[in-house]
Amino acid sequence: MSCPDGLCKSPPSTFPPLNLHMLWGFPKTILLFSHSDIVPILGPSLAVSLVLAGPTDMTAFICGFIWLELHLLTFEIKNQSIGVEEDRLSKPNRPIVSGRISLETAQTLYLCVGMISVLYSVYQRVLLCSTVYMVAIYCYNEMSMSRNWFLKSFLGALGYVCYCWGTTIIFDHGKPLSRTSIIAVAISGLVHTTTGHAQDFRDRFGDAAIGRKTLVHILPARIARWSLMALVAAWTVGLVYLWSPPALVTIFFSVLCCIATVSYVLDHSVEADRNSYWWYNMWLITAHLLPIFKRLEDAAL
């Protein structure tokens, strides 16, 4: 069919032009979604999984790390999508509030990463663990259970349990958790349930902005901080008794406990709380390494 001269035009494209700058910056955007969780989540989860699974090969480690990162990323994308106002106050460098990615694109990315996580779990034979995790993050985010101080701690702890559970099985080439592993993973959940509000001190202003009530807001400031000190100290004593580490390790673990908790009590500024939380995570990672002494003891028998 012919067209009159000068009147034929190509129809407008329904697809936006390819943004090469966006594609080039995409890996950094993905990193920024979970950057703040490298120490508090990836560190303890990988530590306990390596301890419980024992020596593993590089292929199994990479597979376990990918599984862990996919599930963590699924949670963080959704959590940051619904916590934009909170992040504007306390974490303005995150991808959505900084303008690196739109809210609509983040939602699409959440669905894609979540689907990949589940399919990868089927491949790695940890679908039950992944299902429990997905239900937990749905309750945490979509059902707004994170606004309740107890449910926030419980669901957060359940997330840690799933991280350790699934990653340990993958590191151990699909073998089910041993009795020692079950105890260690369950204790990890209890530790996070009872002391996980250590992170809420640094985030208290952002939480208040969205109406989230954590123990930091419910309890008087001194009681909240002193109770955290008591709980971390109690866990330090209990874990040393349970796993029987050598004297030098016990001293090191106790020193970390003192540094983290005393700093929470002495300085209530947000910057100090960020530093205190870093020390708390060093204590937490060490706590997750202690079961290795039980494994060594069992191996010697």
Residue-wise pLDDT for 141-175, tens only, equals 999 898 888 898 899 999 999 999 999 999 999 99
The answer to which of 37-46, 56-65, 100-109, 126-135 has the lowest mean pLDDT is: 37-46
Tell whether 218 is covered by a domain.
Answer: yes
Q: How far apart are CA 18 and CA 156, in angstroms?
A: 38
* Number of domain units in the chain: 1
Could you tell me if residue 299 is inside a domain? no
In this structure, is residue 18 part of a structural domain? no
- Kindly state the percentage of the chain with pLDDT values over 90: 65
Q: How far apart are CA 40 and CA 230, in angstroms?
A: 20
Q: What percent of the chain has pLDDT over 70?
A: 92
Q: Is residue 110 part of a domain?
A: yes
Render pLDDT for 270-293 as a digit per residue (tens, 0 to 9). 899 999 999 999 999 999 999 999
Domain contains 289: yes
Per-residue pLDDT, 15 = 36
**84/97 Cα distance (integer angstroms):** 6
The pLDDT, as a whole number, for residue 23 is 56
Contact, 233 vs 252, CB < 8 A?
Answer: no
pLDDT of residue 245: 96
Q: Does position 12 have pLDDT exceeding 60, yes or no?
A: no
Taking only the tens place, the pLDDT of each residue in 14-65 is: 334 435 555 567 788 888 898 888 888 888 899 899 999 988 999 999 999 9
pLDDT band at 85 (very low <50, low <70, confident <90, very high): confident
Q: Is residue 9 part of a domain?
A: no
94 domain-assigned: yes
Least confident of 25-34, 120-129, 240-249: 25-34
Residue 63 lies in a domain: yes
163 alpha carbon, distance to own chain's centre:
8
What is the structure's pLDDT at 90?
Answer: 77
Could you give the C-alpha distances from 12 to 1, 3, 18, in angstroms and in order? 19, 17, 15
Distances in whole angstroms, Cα of residue 268 to Cα of each of 226, 255, 261:
12, 21, 12
Domain that holds residue 237: 36-293
